[in-house]
Amino acid sequence: MEQVGPVISRYGLEEQGFKNLDMVRWNYAAPHLVEEAIRRHEAHLCADGALIARTGHHTGRSPNDKFIVDDELSHDTVAWGDVNRPIAEAQFDAVHQRLLNHLQEREVYVQDCHAGADRELRLPVRVITENAWHSLFARNMFIQPNPQELRDFQPGFTVIHAPRFHADPEREGTNSEVCILISFKKKLVLIGGTSYAGEIKKSIFSVLNYVLPGHDVLPMHCSVNVGPAGDSAVFFGLSGTGKTTLSADARRTLVGDDEHGWGANGLFNFEGGCYAKVIKLSAEAEPEIYATTQRFGTIMENVMMDMDSRAVDLDDGSLTENTRASYPLDFIPNASESGTAPHPNNIIMLTCDAFGVLPPVARLTPEQAMYHFLSGYTARVAGTERGVKEPQATFSTCFGAPFMPRHPTVYANLLREQMNQHAASCWLVNTGWSGGPYGTGERMPIKHTRAMIHAILDGSLDQGEFIPDPFFGLQVPLTCNGVPDDVLIPRNAWQDGTAYDAKARELASMFEANFAQYADFVDDTVRRIAIRP
């Protein structure tokens, strides 16, 4: 096989079972990969310089096609169920061998990277792809080693991504022709049948979520930023809650927007890039992120473009509402160079409550933080998914259930231990509806949410007067700079207080029903927390 590239690892692909490859292109930088993607008709260049790629039928993750190998390493340590589906070693090996055969006599692209900015904990990751633009995605999203590290690079985990390969469900036990298979024992991820690039980064996130708790490190689906005085903040939140938007603050240094660890040395980013949703992105509301869509080196997935002028339309969701931009972290002007931060002063759990009953901001005890971390609540609204006509409560434990191989209480206990050890404050911030549910009330203005975040981070909110919420037991502030007082107490924002009470009881009952699955796995201090005090 012919091998080219600026730096080629001494640990070759032959040692990983690859044979008869046509061409191996190692560690190409962005300009070369963009040229390759255009040469191979994989993508187009837009007028402002970003690469426009389409992912075909799969415009998001395929959670029903993800499996973990059930072997002696994982059998008693993975929380098996609807999220973590088992697959037999023999079936994984069959897919692996066919995938190796599929790649024979083909060009492949290799990126040797690191996952984890903490040098003591980072994971060497090799990403092997059959598309140049997916190799650029891996280069954008992970941390780049220096040339000497690349020469001596030996992967701690390898991802093989081949969209044109299809699994055989009848023979290999997969759910469809798409496969995302993880073997912790073999340190290998196999991805086939989908071009959605997010599968690459989320598979390694799942790997770190399995590995790091064994080192007393809490892996988190969160963003992190740091203030001028060195005060750091963690932002948890599911898609649509504002995690990326609210952490991108020109007054603070962005450590990362999606995946981090919290260990003995403090916080550290898993990634070297961002993967932001860009549907209806506003230059006024999100200037730092918007600017990345006009830069060479950014990949924009499923964003519509006029093929004559090459102008993009970020408001057009014809292909999907899940349009994305992948770009290196240093495209954000105030991004951290180290990817690390001190232990957090504040933890902010973001939720988008479409029922309009949760307070816009509330203070949590460590036990309440554990409760809401295990709950991972947000709500879907009508129009975002087929068949959703009324707001629907969504509970995704640890704010990232699809990526958590271990039992949720493993992560929740680590969170409480870290909070207690480092005296971190925790807050629940509702970026959803106020004055009524979706369809009646109004979405919380982002300027009000930003004012609450600023008051949390500068310490002023913690100094004011609080009252308990009558339904959810949270401590609610009576005043906040930049926010009208009647907004802070959710019942006061409703015209009909009786209707508010009924809707609040409805959501509280949903919380209680969801948490029943964890009641036997938490101690009395958490079990005794009732949503209704």
The CATH code of the domain that includes 444 is 3.90.228.20
Span 316-369, pLDDT tens digits = 999 998 999 999 999 999 999 999 999 999 999 999 999 999 999 999 999 999
Given CA atoms 497, 503, 509, 514 in this order, what sign does their dihedral have? negative
Answer yes or no: do 311 and 388 share one domain.
Answer: no
Burial letters for 45-81: b for 16+ Cβ neighbours within 10 Å, e otherwise? bbeeebbbbbbeebbbbbeebbbbbbbeebeeebeee
Instruction: Compute φ and ψ for 389, nearest 5 degrees.
Output: -110, -20
Residue (of 70, 83, 74, 97) closest to 160 by Cα position: 97
CB 195 within 8 A of CB 166: no
Quick check: 245 and 444 in contact, CB under 8 A? no
Q: How many domains does the chain have?
A: 3
DSSP state of 245: H
The three-state secondary structure class of 144 is: coil
* Catalytic-residue membership of 187: no
The residues facing 341 across adjacent strands are 267
Q: In this structure, are 435 and 501 located in the same domain?
A: yes
Write out the two tokens for 138: 């891996």
Q: How confident is the model at residue 381 (pLDDT cuts 50, 70, 90)?
A: low
Tell whether 512 is covered by a domain.
Answer: yes
- The type of residue at 149 is E
Beta-sheet pairing, 107-115 with 23-26: parallel
Q: For residue 190, report the phi and psi dihedrals to the nearest 5 degrees.
A: -115, 125
- From the number of C-beta atoms within 10 Å of its C-beta (0-12, 13-18, 19+), residue 156 rates as middle
pLDDT in tens, 435-485: 999 989 999 999 999 999 999 999 999 999 999 999 999 999 999 999 999
- Residue 99 contacts by C-beta under 8 Å, 6 or more apart in sequence? 160, 162, 165, 190, 192
Mean pLDDT across the chain, nearest whole number? Answer: 93
| Predicted pLDDT at 269 | 98
From 215, 230, 253, give the residue that closes a domain.
Answer: 215
Shared domain check, 400 and 299: no
Range of the domain at 296: 275-330
Q: Is residue 312 part of a domain?
A: yes
Could you tell me the pLDDT band of residue 383, with boundaries at 50, 70 and 90? very low
- Length of the chain equals 533
Catalytic residue among 85, 126, 243, 343: 243
Q: Among the options 65, 118, 257, 258, which is catalytic?
A: 258
Q: How many alpha carbons lie under 13 Å from residue 402 in its C-beta half-sphere? A: 16
pLDDT above 70: residue 267:
yes
Query: Based on the domain organization, do 200 and 312 belong to the same domain?
Result: no
Task: Pull the structure tokens for residue 9.
Answer: 């690892």
**Are 196 and 222 within one domain?**
no
Q: What is the pLDDT of residue 526?
A: 82
pLDDT band at 202; cut points 50, 70, 90: very high
Determine the pLDDT at residue 249. Answer: 86
Tell me the CA distances in angstroms from 157 to 127, 144, 210, one per residue in order.
9, 15, 13
Catalytic residue among 202, 343, 372, 503: 202
- Active-site position among 139, 324, 363, 491: 324
pLDDT at 357: 96
134, 201, 221, 491: the catalytic one is 221
Tokens of 222: 């969160």
> DSSP assignment, residue 16?
G
pLDDT in tens, 143-155: 999 999 999 999 9
482 assigned to some structural domain: yes
Do 350 and 237 have their domain in common?
A: yes
pLDDT tens for each residue of 154-181? 999 999 999 999 999 999 999 999 999 9
DSSP string for 248-317: --TTSEEEESSEEEEETTEEEES-SEEEEE-TT--TTT-HHHHHHTTSTT-EEES-EE-TTT--EETT--
Task: Classify residue 336: in a domain, yes or no.
Answer: no
Q: Is 372 one of the annotated active-site residues of the chain?
A: no
**Strands 123-129 and 157-162: what pairing?**
parallel
> Can you tell me the mean pLDDT for 90-115?
97
Give the list of residues 6+ apart from residue 275 with CB closer than 8 angstroms, or none: 141, 197, 198, 201, 257, 258, 324, 325, 326
Residue 421's contacts (CB-CB under 8 Å, 6 or more residues apart) are none
pLDDT tens-digit profile of 13-49?
Answer: 999 999 999 999 999 999 999 999 999 999 999 999 9
Q: Any idea what the CATH number is for the domain that residue 312 is in?
A: 2.170.8.10
425 part of a folded domain: yes
Helix axes 198-211, 132-141, angle to 10 degrees: 40
Q: Are residues 485 and 430 in the same domain?
A: yes
The pLDDT of residue 388 is 46
Residue 244 pLDDT greater than 70, yes or no? yes
In terms of domains, do 246 and 155 share one? no
Give a yes or no: residue 533 inside a domain: no
Residue 372 domain-assigned (yes or no): yes
Residue 382 binned pLDDT confidence (cut-offs 50, 70, 90): very low
Q: Are residues 323 and 458 in the same domain?
A: no
Q: How far is Cα 171 from Cα 189, in angstroms, rounded to an integer?
A: 19
Q: Are 224 and 211 in the same domain? A: no
Per the CB < 8 A criterion, the answer to whether 221 and 198 are in contact is: no
Distance between CA atoms of residues 350 and 328, nearest Å: 25
Catalytic choice (96, 168, 231, 239): 239
**Coil, strand or helix: which one is 229?**
coil
Chain-centre distance of CA 74, in angstroms?
Answer: 23
The predicted structure's pLDDT at residue 29: 97
Percent of the chain with pLDDT over 90: 88
Active-site hit among 9, 135, 183, 244: 244
Contacts within 8 Å (CB) and 24+ apart, 317-321: 317/279, 317/280, 319/54, 319/59, 320/59, 320/60, 321/279, 321/384
Q: What is the model's pTM?
A: 0.93
**H or E segment at 378?**
strand 377-380
Whichever domain contains 69, its CATH number is 3.40.449.10
Tell me, yes or no, if 292 is annotated catalytic: no
Q: What percent of the chain has pLDDT over 70?
A: 97
Handedness of CA 262, 266, 269, 270 (dihedral sign): negative
Say whether both 412 and 509 belong to one domain: yes
Asked whether residue 337 is domain-assigned, the answer is no
Q: Among this protein's residues, is 10 annotated catalytic?
A: no
Contact at 8 Å (CB) between 172 and 301?
no
How open is the CA angle 472-259-150, to the nearest 5 degrees? 170
pLDDT computed for residue 523 by the predictor? 84
Give the span between the Cα atoms of 49 and 31, in whole angstroms.
11
Annotation marks residue 195 as catalytic: no
Q: What residue type is assigned to position 361 of the chain? A: V
Residues 134 and 93 placed together within one structural domain of the fold? yes
pLDDT of residue 487 exceeding 50, the answer is: yes
Residue 505 among the catalytic residues: no
pLDDT band at 117, cuts 50/70/90?
very high
Alpha-helical (H) ranges within 22-175 are 30-39, 89-103, 132-141, 147-151, 169-172
Candidates 379, 371, 433, 425; CA nearest to 398 is: 371
